[in-house]
Structure 1
């Protein structure tokens, strides 16, 4: 995450692989004293922040033609295993418009993957060549027309829109303009490329301005004084120094205008560059590459989980209801019914007390309250038994004086027992109120916060602080292990950062905490990927589909905030594309609530989900993956799913925004308390 832009882990690996290639280019050029310069977005990143522009996906360098010719003669002998030069030895296999050095295959040799940051796709550093422009504008215009003709023919042949036989007829017109001849003994495409590059060099050594001609054909303003590339200085880029044109200000202004102003490159049609290889990668690795999440209706299913606190409170609530019913029955003088209900009530109270002692140990206040409750039930039982005995013996002849006196005494005693029993019964209500207070203090709501990385702790820290202040809530902070993924999708070494969290926060060991026994009231997770992250993974036990089996409230709070994303704005095209990595993933659907940074981002989340379900995105890739649901099937559930997701995704804010009005820490704490204490 940089400059409000989410950078996928795979993009970071692409950068790492490209840097490894750049190091080799730099080494070779230094060895043979060959001038080159980092250029375009790479140069902009070096000047502006000494790093990649967050939304850039490649490395570009530029050479003047004479430097490139010298480089072409030596590079093949210098490159390490795994790297190739696209133009071949001496630059004679130039079957492309632009040159490049990189990994062009996808064979997944372990040593190559390890050397190049476990990046499974082709990784290439583009080499752009500057050629002289003709001083005469008419001559340059004529060259441009020929190059454009060649570009069209090359494109048509590569895309299968034109056969060689048809193209041969068009070549005659080109042959009339050029001192060249196309032969039928060689395939046409290599000849066209060769002629194209020959024409690019036609005025070298004569001009005062240079340009990357294949690009300048369609961007006439992209030209620079040749003198700009005759002086060199160095700038830091990703912690290393690389050569840049001495007058790089002229170059950057020509490419970007006011280059100090941050402007996100819009559109996602070619971003990231490696997405065009995704279908091929899936075909090669098959079941080993499973990182395309497929929504299923069962992901929204919510199993009911009853934890110890809830069961305890259910017991208490049943006691309260039964006590109220006993008072009503007693007022109707149905003393036998009251008496017969007391043993069962006492038995369940004893059962609850035993369960609490087993879980919390002896001597708890709640068990003491239950003991008092059971004693009161016993006293009430004794009183009612005596009452019934007096009532049953109250028979005789009422007209005899001695019997009248005796009956009067019995009635008085019976009346006293009734009053005592009534007071004892009403006293149960107060005992149950005390029991509730004790239970809420001793058997608290338990909230478990899961975080794999100490650097992401800031996104939940204020929330933890607020909940720790409550007497009725027990907060547990649980760092969890995570693994890197290798380039073939398999897991590698485990990482655990428990020691890196602030020392003032007690750590709960994930190895000793029994989720099945504890069944916390709420689990808060920082991650939503589950298995569907191709770069790393938390321990599979902590995937969201597993976690929701242990709690009734699974809450996802992203560890990051981005700039606001407008799905309709071209400038946000890449940012909206990257939402596929953290929105259309299992955790969002499994979570009972997702708390995002703003109402605007909530709408962006829902739009991303809508397009995902509708099948508007990546249809070509979906067609190549038999495990994906069909577009028609997705449409059947789209409306229903969106209605549920609208309730589950809350645009309350983020703790990372501090006290920002309307979407900061205060709002997150408020919505979290509502989830915990009001949304029962």
Structure 2
């Protein structure tokens, strides 16, 4: 799978900081999904995105930013077929992990994994995008609920009885000393009860608990699609009789974008997600960081057994203090050199951005310095490289993309070691400690600090303010706080006082309580004053002349733009009612056309999908298309429509989430109104 190098970079999504190691884990999971998808397509095995992967596909067109795993589901018949075929046809190295393969496992699902060991060989790293750890996805079986309450009660009670016996067996196996005869006799009575109820024989020479788990799995699939009306995940249904969905929801699938590929989702995904999460468009962080990310234990194993740490900053506080002494000594020497040279009382300040797209985070401070008569300001973009898994690097060049009002000086023409500016301002904190990219070693923070009186660091990003209980967000701070740019800077300017407190806490946790005052002095929380001044540049100029004319009022100002977005789910789940809803909504927009313009957009290849579903729906869609043709935005124009719109109206979707991220009003439509 070919992914753009920029995909692996640290990124803020929906206000959450996603580290590059997580991005590499995602990329590895996508490779697993690709291989699973190929087998399923070949053998006509139906599968669907499940849980957070389903929510991510609909709301984000990719991973939920604070999620680290991938889930899919299959109806029981497809699930069983896949397990039989996968062992033979999945690419070399894959293994199944479930109750049949591992007696210690009692989860009623299957995890398909890339292997059971950490691998640093070229072939593995090449396939899994530089990610050395075991990676996989979870497959949940969907079972059908008994057609009558009596049958359902009996099935669930039977599963509970067998599960209780399995739990008793686990407790017996976990005893520090050999179980007494009394306990073993009780266990035997329970086993015999299961044998009588289920009409089976339990082999006493094999693992009892594993046999019980296999039996539970068989009992979960007693009923077929033909005789049932509802579908469920039986492990949930046994204890929560509200978790059921009409089987029709899983009869058809549509494919939605997911990161750089697509993934099948149930056509009734809106109803399914409402059942699972309620208002699923509301962002709810997962605060628990236990076993997050999923490979954290493997990281510890690699460190303990092989002494390898593949990313991150690892110096001690003693290392830091020693290097600060070196910086101080060098600055004393530099001071003597500066006294000899003449600078006419002018302060030299050098901004060193590393990507043009991130300049806006420096722009406020640059403007402040640029207005001062006694300050000479230079902007010197530093060389930046994407890392490959094999240690090679590819230079990224975007010097021509900086704003025209900035006078760029090439790093090839500027020698900071000779110039020794009064202040250097950077925005890349990582030095060489990031998996995805690096600035040239000449521009590492540790090196720059030797040749300036003051090294200032401003983050190139802004996150949402972090709740103190959000342990996943706090854990992710290791990737941008305990880094050389923060540690060796003389001043660190972050977005708020609350964020300053978290930076101080994170650094103190890392280096020890004795270091706390140092971070408290150097980190400042007034970055918000420049963030608040960032101007949102209108993107109307990107529109066609026809759209510009349609938007313009007689006085030269522009009308408000409402992006009206219709998902595929709307037509498939609500049918003709969806078409009627669109007509009603468009009538309202037309009645207010002097002040409002609607940009109507449809998800994906709507016409192609409807042509295979229902002739009436296709006719209804074509009628809408013909009637409102002038207001329809093509898929390749959607990005600009999101930029220019003043508000969003329509179906729950990733487009709605992107508008919400841009702080635009979002209203999810109700088809019945």
Count matched residues.
508
Tell me the alpha carbon deviations over residues 393-433 of structure 1, each in whole angstroms, 9 at most, x when there is no partner. xxxxxxxxxxxxxxxxxxxxxxxxxxxxxxxxxxxxxxxxx
CA apart distance, 1:188: 4.4
Of 206, 226, 237, the residue aligned with 1:186 is 206
- Say yes or no: does 1:117 pair with 2:129: yes
**Structure 1 residues 288 and 565, CA gap change in structure 2 (3 angstroms):** closer
Tell me the alpha carbon deviations over residues 375-395 of structure 1, each in whole angstroms, 9 at most, x when there is no partner. xxxxxxxxxxxxxxxxxxxxx
- Could you say which residue in structure 2 is the equivalent of 1:641? 515
Quote the Cα distance in structure 1 between the aligned partners of 2:269 and 2:477. Answer: 34
CA apart distance, 1:270: 3.0
- Could you say which residue in structure 1 is the equivalent of 2:550? none
CA apart distance, 1:573: 2.2
For the Cα contact (< 8 Å) 1:299–1:545, is it kept in 2? Answer: no
- Could you say which residue in structure 2 is the equivalent of 1:259? 280
Of 409, 426, 442, the residue aligned with 1:541 is 442
Tell me the alpha carbon deviations over residues 31-79 of structure 1, each in whole angstroms, 9 at most, x when there is no partner. 1111111111111112123221111112211111011112122222321
Secondary structure (helix, strand or coil) at the match of 1:271 reads coil
CA apart distance, 1:642: 0.9
Quote the Cα distance in structure 2 between the aligned partners of 1:203 and 1:522. Answer: 73
CA apart distance, 1:520: 1.4
Quote the Cα distance in structure 1 between the aligned partners of 2:359 and 2:165. Answer: 57
Tell me the alpha carbon deviations over residues 12-43 of structure 1, each in whole angstroms, 9 at most, x when there is no partner. 11111111211222222121111111111111
Quote the Cα distance in structure 1 between the aligned partners of 2:209 and 2:396. Answer: 51
- Could you say which residue in structure 2 is the equivalent of 1:66? 77
Tell me the alpha carbon deviations over residues 648-668 of structure 1, each in whole angstroms, 9 at most, x when there is no partner. 11000247723289xxxxxxx
For the Cα contact (< 8 Å) 1:446–1:520, is it kept in 2? Answer: yes
Secondary structure (helix, strand or coil) at the match of 2:411 reads coil
- Could you say which residue in structure 1 is the equivalent of 2:297? 276
- Could you say which residue in structure 2 is the equivalent of 1:554? 455
CA apart distance, 1:522: 0.9
Secondary structure (helix, strand or coil) at the match of 2:265 reads strand
Where structure 1 has 5 or more consecutive residues not aligned to the other structure, the ranges are 315-351, 357-437, 614-633, 662-680
For the Cα contact (< 8 Å) 2:364–2:534, is it kept in 1? Answer: no
- Say yes or no: does 1:470 pair with 2:361: no
Quote the Cα distance in structure 2 between the aligned partners of 1:34 and 1:299. Answer: 56
- Could you say which residue in structure 1 is the equivalent of 2:478? 580
Quote the Cα distance in structure 2 between the aligned partners of 1:107 and 1:158. Answer: 32
Secondary structure (helix, strand or coil) at the match of 2:191 reads helix
- Say yes or no: does 1:449 pair with 2:351: yes
- Could you say which residue in structure 1 is the equivalent of 2:270? 249
- Say yes or no: does 1:196 pair with 2:221: no
Q: Which has the higher helix share?
A: 1
Quote the Cα distance in structure 1 between the aligned partners of 2:176 and 2:412. Answer: 61
Where structure 2 has 5 or more consecutive residues not aligned to the other structure, the ranges are 1-11, 536-673
- Could you say which residue in structure 1 is the equivalent of 2:193? 176
**Structure 1 residues 581 and 237, CA gap change in structure 2 (3 angstroms):** same
For the Cα contact (< 8 Å) 1:483–1:536, is it kept in 2? Answer: yes
Secondary structure (helix, strand or coil) at the match of 1:273 reads coil
For the Cα contact (< 8 Å) 1:307–1:520, is it kept in 2? Answer: no
**Structure 1 residues 578 and 221, CA gap change in structure 2 (3 angstroms):** farther
Quote the Cα distance in structure 1 between the aligned partners of 2:524 and 2:169. Answer: 52
For the Cα contact (< 8 Å) 2:159–2:220, is it kept in 1? Answer: no
**Structure 1 residues 560 and 76, CA gap change in structure 2 (3 angstroms):** same
For the Cα contact (< 8 Å) 2:250–2:266, is it kept in 1? Answer: yes
Task: Give the structure with higher Rg (CA).
Answer: 1
**Structure 1 residues 172 and 292, CA gap change in structure 2 (3 angstroms):** farther
- Could you say which residue in structure 2 is the equivalent of 1:602? 500
For the Cα contact (< 8 Å) 2:299–2:309, is it kept in 1? Answer: no
- Could you say which residue in structure 1 is the equivalent of 2:409? 508
Tell me the alpha carbon deviations over residues 156-215 of structure 1, each in whole angstroms, 9 at most, x when there is no partner. 589787979999652540341243333343344543442332232234455433322334
**Structure 1 residues 83 and 207, CA gap change in structure 2 (3 angstroms):** same
**Structure 1 residues 597 and 290, CA gap change in structure 2 (3 angstroms):** closer
**Structure 1 residues 313 and 520, CA gap change in structure 2 (3 angstroms):** closer
Alignment of 1:48-197 (within 5 A): 48-86=59-97, 96=105, 97=107, 98-104=109-115, 105-134=117-146, 135=148, 136=150, 137-149=152-164, 152=167, 170=187, 172-177=189-194, 178-188=198-208, 190-197=210-217
Alignment of 1:387-536 (within 5 A): 439-440=344-345, 444-487=346-389, 490-536=391-437
Report the TM-score, using the length of structure 1 for normalisation: 0.68
**Structure 1 residues 155 and 61, CA gap change in structure 2 (3 angstroms):** farther
- Could you say which residue in structure 2 is the equivalent of 1:669? none
**Structure 1 residues 313 and 94, CA gap change in structure 2 (3 angstroms):** closer
Report the TM-score, using the length of structure 2 for normalisation: 0.68
**Structure 1 residues 62 and 183, CA gap change in structure 2 (3 angstroms):** same
**Structure 1 residues 35 and 188, CA gap change in structure 2 (3 angstroms):** same
- Could you say which residue in structure 2 is the equivalent of 1:231? 252
Quote the Cα distance in structure 2 between the aligned partners of 1:159 and 1:590. Answer: 50
- Could you say which residue in structure 2 is the equivalent of 1:388? none
